[in-house]
Amino acid sequence: MRIPVVVLSGFLGSGKTTLLLRLVKEAKARGVKPGILMNELGQLDVDGFTVNEFDDTNIQKLLDGCVCCSKKSELASSLNRLLPQKPDVIFIELTGVANPEEIADALTEPGLLRSMRLKQIITVLDAENVLDYNSVFSSDRQLVHTLRRQIEAADFIIVNKTDLVSPSVLQKIEKAIRKQNDRCSIAYTTHSQVDMDPLFHGIEPNAANAVSGDRLARGSALSVVKRSIREHEHLHPEPSYSRVRTMMLPWTESNPPTREKLEKFLHQRRELLLRAKGYVTLPPTGQPHLFQYAGKRMYWETTAFSGSPYLVIIGIDLDEERLLHDWNVLCEMV
C-alpha cells in the first residue's frame, strides 16, 4: 500500500512547525507511525531539535536550500530513506518560500509513485501579516507568485494566529482566499490548534490504508496541479524565491549580546527581515533559550538545548558583510 504524504506549506513563521508537532503527537496517540521530512533554508536545523523530542520519530532533514528548487533532486532520496521504518504517514514540512505544487509533482515520479501518494496539501497562513504580502514583497515577483501558489494549491488552509487580529481582518482573509481557491477547506486557529479528525481520515496504523479520497485518486486535481507546474516552469524557470537570503549571526558564549540588544538589532532591520530563529544563551546566567522572530514579533522560550548556540536570520537582499560587521560591533559593545 502506498504511504499517504501530507505536505505542510505556508510562509516563514506562519505556524507550520507548530502544526507538525501537533500532527506528530496526534499520530502517536492514534498508534500511527509518522515519518517526517523537514526542509530548512539555512544550514542549521532549529525545528528539528524540537521535533526530535519525539524520540523514536523517523526524521529526515534537508538543510541549506529549498526542496522545491535547489534541493529538488534530493527529495526522492530523502523520502526513500524514511521507508525502512515503514511509516503509516509522511509529513513534509516545506520551507516558507516553497511552492507546494513542485512537491506534488515530484511525488508522481516513478521512484516515489510506487510507494507514496499525495494525500493533502495544507497551507498555514499568518493572519496578522498575510494581507500585506503583496505590497511588502511587491519588488519580488517570484516570491509573490510562490505565496499565491501556496494558497491556490492547498486542499486545506489554516488561518493561524487569529489571536493577533480582529474578526473583520479574518473576513478579509477569507475573501482573499476564496478569490484564489474556491475548493479548499478553511480553519481558523491559534497555535495551529485544528480538529485532527479530518486530517487523519484514511490514515491508519500499519499502513493498510485505503487509497480512496486522496488527491492522487482525484485525477482531475492532480492534472490541474501538473498543468500549472508546467506553466510555472515555462514562465518561471527560476527558483520559487529570488531575493530571500539566509545567514548566520555568530553567537559567542563568552560575549553574547543581551536580549534587549538582540531585539533592538533585529527591530532596526525589520524592513528586510522575514524570520530569525536559533538557540541562544543569555547573560548573566547563560540559560539557553529558543528565540524566534516571526511576523515581526519576537518569541522567547527556555529550552533544554545543550549544543552550541546559534542564530539564523532570513531576509530580503541581506547584505551579509554589513550585517556581520554591525553584529560584531554590537557584540563587542556588550
Ligand X SMILES: Nc1nc2c(ncn2[C@@H]2O[C@H](COP(=O)(O)OP(=O)(O)OP(=O)(O)O)[C@@H](O)[C@H]2O)c(=O)[nH]1
Distance between CA atoms of 303 and 287, rounded to whole angstroms? 8
Shortest CB 203 distance to ligand X, Å: 21
Q: Are 34 and 209 in contact, with CB atoms under 8 Å apart? A: no
Residues 185 to 204 in contact with ligand X, rule: CB under 6 A: 190-192
3-state secondary structure of 118: strand
User: What sections of 122-204 are H helices per DSSP?
Assistant: 133-136, 141-152, 167-180, 196-200
Binding test (CB under 6 A) with ligand X, winner from 13, 35, 100, 257: 13
CB of residue 243 to ligand X, shortest distance in Å = 17
CB 62 within 8 Å of CB 37: yes
Using an 8 Å Cβ cutoff, are 119 and 214 in contact? yes
Smallest gap from residue 242 Cβ to ligand X (A) = 17
Cβ nearer to ligand X, comparing 14 with 181: 14
Where in 261-320 is the site for ligand X (CB under 6 A)?
275, 292, 294, 299
Closer residue to ligand X in complex, CB, 191/226: 191
CB-CB neighbours of 52 under 10 Å: 13
In the complex with ligand X, which residue's Cβ is closer, 142 or 209?
142
Residue 77: all three cell numbers together? 532520496
Q: Assign 19 to helix, strand or coil.
A: helix
For the CB of residue 197, give the shortest distance to ligand X in the complex, in Å: 20
Q: How far apart are CA 166 and CA 234, in angstroms?
A: 40
> Which member of 53, 109, 132, 163 binds ligand X (CB under 6 A)?
163
Cβ proximity to ligand X, 221 vs 288, nearer residue? 288
Cβ 88 to ligand X shortest distance, Å: 23
Among 35, 65, 96, 256, contact with ligand X (rule: CB under 6 A): 96
Q: In the complex, which residues of this chain contact ligand X (CB under 6 A)?
A: 10, 12-18, 47, 96, 160-161, 163-164, 190-192, 275, 292, 294, 299
